Amino acid sequence: MDRLLFLLATGLARGAIFALFALSLVLIWRAARIVNFAQGAMAVVAVYVAFAVTGLTGSYWAGFASAIVAGAAIGFAVERGVMRFAPHDSPLSGVIIAIGLVMVLQSALGILFGATVRPMEVPFDERPIVIAGVPVLSPYDLFVLVVAVAVMAALGVLFTRTSLGLQLRASAFAPEVSRLLGVRVSRMLTIGWMLSAAVAALAALLLVPTELGLSPHSTDVLFVYAFTVAVVGGLDSPPGALLGGLVVGVLMSLVTGYLGATVAPIAVLVLLVVVLLVRPGGIFSARQVRQA
Amino acid sequence: MSPRILPGLTGTPRLLVTAAALTVLAIGGTFLLDPYRNYQLALVAAYFCATAGLTLLIGLSGQLSLGHAALMAAGGYGYALTANALTESGIDGVPRFLVSLVVAVVAAGLLGLLLGLAGARLSGPYLAGVTLALVIALPAITSVFSGVFRGDQGVQIAYDGVPEALRLIIAVEQWQAWVAILVTAIVVTGLAVIRRGRLGLRMRAVHGDETSARLNGVPAGRVKVAAFTASAVSAGAGGAILCFVTQSVSPGAYTLAFSLLLVVAVVVGGLGSIGGAAVGAVVVVLLPWLIGTAIGAFDLPTELEQRLSGNLGVLVFGALLIVVTAVWPGGLAGALRRRRRRENRMLRADQMPPAEPRDSRPAEPAIPASPASHPISTEPER
């Protein structure tokens, strides 16, 4: 029972990270109708920046801030420098260019920093807090949960309560009409990419310390999990990403705890295939499935 | 119009004759190569099997698979496990090879069928995600079922020597190249027949506009599943050849990077073009080797050399993928086609007053796309 509680709590913390990353995928999907397969590679570049900054200044928080800034900068560079040139006649070309980006970024990191896994330190106690004799969450997991909730709340406010959010939503849903009404659609697209990449960088930064460490491939699995989350929740729905993240996080934590860590990727694959076979639009999406 | 040999021969017979001629040419070519080149040729043939299937899948049916390495691995494991079982029961030589090959192809085909069924209802990015998850889960699958797949170590098979009758003429590398070329020839010819046949036309129709294709009585789902299965079968055959040539199969050989490399090969060659897939396979085998040789030629510190050796090739391929997709969408085949068309036009303008272009190939989907069915139309135009 104690173990179950511990796994559930850890799963929630992991799920919060998956949800954040999935949310970043949803943001780009809504803004540009592209599933950004390079999101993981872009995020890991930002985490390397954070790692370097933390190494130079000795402060985790300076690294934390720099990861978010670097994430936004990478999002800007990718949108303006690469994605803008994707041909629009086929939905696949965006995906293919993103894959090229993954290869470029990961191999460049490999050349610059080598394939060695670098452990990342966090200024938190790793030992779990014990509540009523049951070990529940480590302070770091608590921090992850708080950050994830704060970011989601901030994004929620941004999208529903501000003029910028309104413009972002408008240019995503009806670009032509928005342009006629004076919205700078192209700029909104860039802002969408920057927001999304920054959120992804944050999610990767939160995840890496809980894993083995930082390497050019640290986010490969995170991307697959987050993609699963986005599919489970529906790519169009931010609340779906949140719920999906928690579901997948808890599920993975239970699978890892009871069946072993090697089974987790298989469980994700099975979950993904089952969801796609049963409800291709996502469990939490009420909309019609997209054609073609 | 460029001069054609045997202009009377058209359609599928022409295709078969061309395939046979190219096969004979390739087999004859093995006599000119040294053993290492023959080994590389066998690798090219194995990759060509997989890329030809993949180019058909992406270019014609519009389904993007990032998991073809996993399908190749299914073929490789199917081949290796069957070959080992047959060796234990005392069967060897040609029967062992053929039975193992069939099992490999069936295993990959079944996996492909399953993925195709999941993917038929999905649009591109979803299928890409599922296949990505599959290839990421591959090491986990082999270590969870390590009793069968032997975990990271993989499965080794007995060595297949040159048959008695040929032992005096050719070396083992050349023999392996022959086998690889023959299997690839059969598989790729099959794909080429599919491509120019009814199923190929239906794939183009579904890719061009799924709704219109459905309205015209094309069973879109079934066409997509068939495309995926055909592609998986050829990837499985490629994996089986690779296993035959290297005598082993392990998850380390079928990583995500390898899978993405296959995608690069078909995009650079030109999506939907079988000749392009062949060029792509050659590039994927030769470029890393060239880069490795070039790095070796410079006198670099060992650590830098190690970092460069694996990564520089991937960097070049990634950049190539981005540039080709953005600037040169048809790849190599598309560029050649455009050039040929331009030459034809100039030639015809010289000879006669403008006439109906006779040899315009259906490069475009057969059914015009209606804007209503494009979900991408919400995309901002810049």
**Inter-chain CB proximity A103 and B133 less than 8 Å:** no
Q: Is residue B302 part of a domain?
A: no
Nearest to A107 among B143, B314, B373 (CB): B314
Q: Which residues of B touch A226 (CB under 8 A)?
A: none
Q: What is the pLDDT of residues B128-161, one digit of tens each?
A: 888 888 888 888 888 888 778 887 788 888 777 7
A77 touches B at CB < 8 Å:
no
Q: Is residue B211 part of a domain?
A: yes
**Inter-chain CB proximity B129 and A86 less than 8 Å:** no
Q: Is residue B25 part of a domain?
A: yes
Q: Is residue B16 part of a domain?
A: yes
Confidence class for position B208, pLDDT limits 50, 70, 90: confident
Q: What is the pLDDT of residue A198?
A: 94
Q: Give the domain range for residue B152.
A: 11-255
Segment 106-125 of chain A within 8 Å of chain B by CB:
106-108, 110-111, 114-115
Better-scored residue on pLDDT, B308 or B279: B279
Nearest to B373 among A115, A269, A291 (CB): A291
Q: Which residue in chain A is spatially nearest to B260 when comparing CA positions?
A: A99
Q: Is residue B94 part of a domain?
A: yes
**Inter-chain CB proximity B267 and A224 less than 8 Å:** no
Q: Which residue in chain B is spatially nearest to A268 when comparing CA positions?
A: B133
A275 touches B at CB < 8 Å:
no
Segment 246-305 of chain B within 8 Å of chain A by CB:
256-257, 260, 263-264, 267, 303
Q: Which residues of B touch A100 (CB under 8 A)?
A: 264, 317-322, 325
Confidence class for position B372, pLDDT limits 50, 70, 90: very low
Query: CA of A89 to nearest chain B CA: how many angstroms apart?
Result: 9
What is the total count of domains within chain B? 1
Low-confidence residues in chain A, pLDDT < 70? 1, 126, 132-134, 280-292
ipTM given for this complex: 0.84
Full-prediction pTM beyond 0.80? yes
Q: Is residue B106 part of a domain?
A: yes
Residue % of chain B over a pLDDT of 90: 16
Q: What is the pLDDT of residue A262?
A: 81
Q: What is the pLDDT of residue B153?
A: 80
Mean pLDDT value of segment B56-61: 88
SS3 string, chain A, reads CHHHHHHHHHHHHHHHHHHHHHHHHHHHHHHHCCCCCCHHHHHHHHHHHHHHHHHHHCCHHHHHHHHHHHHHHHHHHHHHHCHHHCCCCCHHHHHHHHHHHHHHHHHHHHHHHCCCCECCCCCCCCCCCEECCEECCCHHHHHHHHHHHHHHHHHHHHHHHCHHHHHHHHHHHCHHHHHHCCCCHHHHHHHHHHHHHHHHHHHHHHHHHHCCCECCCCCHHHHHHHHHHHHHHCCCCHHHHHHHHHHHHHHHHHHHHHHCHHHHHHHHHHHHHHHHHHCCCCCCCCCCCCCC
Q: What is the pLDDT of residue B380?
A: 41
**Inter-chain CB proximity B381 and A88 less than 8 Å:** yes
Tell me how many residue pairs between chain A and chain B have CB atoms under 8 A apart: 191
Q: Is residue B81 part of a domain?
A: yes
Q: Is residue B294 part of a domain?
A: no
Mean pLDDT value of segment B277-283: 90
* A168 CB-near residues (< 8 Å, 6+ apart): A31, A159, A188, A191, A192
| Per-residue pLDDT at B376 exceeds 60 | no
